[in-house]
Amino acid sequence: MWVQKQLQLRPFPRGFQLITDQIADTIPEIGQVDVGLLHVFIQHTSASLTINENADPDVRIDFESTMSRVVSESFPYVHTLEGPDDMPAHIKASMMGSSVTIPVGGGRMQLGTWQGVYLCEHRNRATGRRLILTLHGESAGDQ
């Protein structure tokens, strides 16, 4: 089975937002898959995706603080037409990545106990973000 869907996320403030539930809600066909993969791709260059700890909200704060310190807005960037947060957002997005791939088994994403999928919003005032979800897998009847 191959399924592909688009997920339009609402605008989020700058920071790290858990979106695992929105992904699962958008592609309920996961429930039919005994073994497979879910690929999640973001169609933007100033936001990224990652998988990390989903339990303690302090993790989100530390991610944002660390990324802002590592990629400073005060660096003398050449690309500045879209504001001082734009070029740093592009760099952060490249560092973190534009996609994640999640194993699927037994009808669910096989994330670890404390893992969740994050939208990493690197702009101060971003618009909604689009994700492409591609599910490939087999059910017990397909094997």
Q: Tokens 């989020």 belong to which residue?
A: 12
Nearest-angstrom CA–CA distance, 138 and 73: 46
First to last CA, the chain: 11
Mutual angle of helices 86-96 and 58-70, in 10-degree steps: 110
pLDDT digit string, tens, across residues 89-106: 999 999 999 999 999 999
pLDDT of residue 31: 97
User: Hey, CA dihedral for 63, 18, 132, 127, is it positive or negative?
Assistant: negative
Q: What is the pLDDT of residue 44?
A: 97
Q: What is the separation of C-alpha 39 from the centre of its chain, rounded to a whole number of angstroms?
A: 10
User: Residue 142's pLDDT is what?
Assistant: 72
Average pLDDT over residues 47-62: 96
What the block records as the tokens of 48 is: 């990224």
The tokens for 3 are 């399924």
In CATH, the architecture of 2-138 is Sandwich (2.60)
| More confident of the two residues 126 and 103 | 103
Query: Are the C-beta atoms of 67 and 16 separated by less than 8 Å?
Result: no
Q: What is the pTM of this model?
A: 0.95
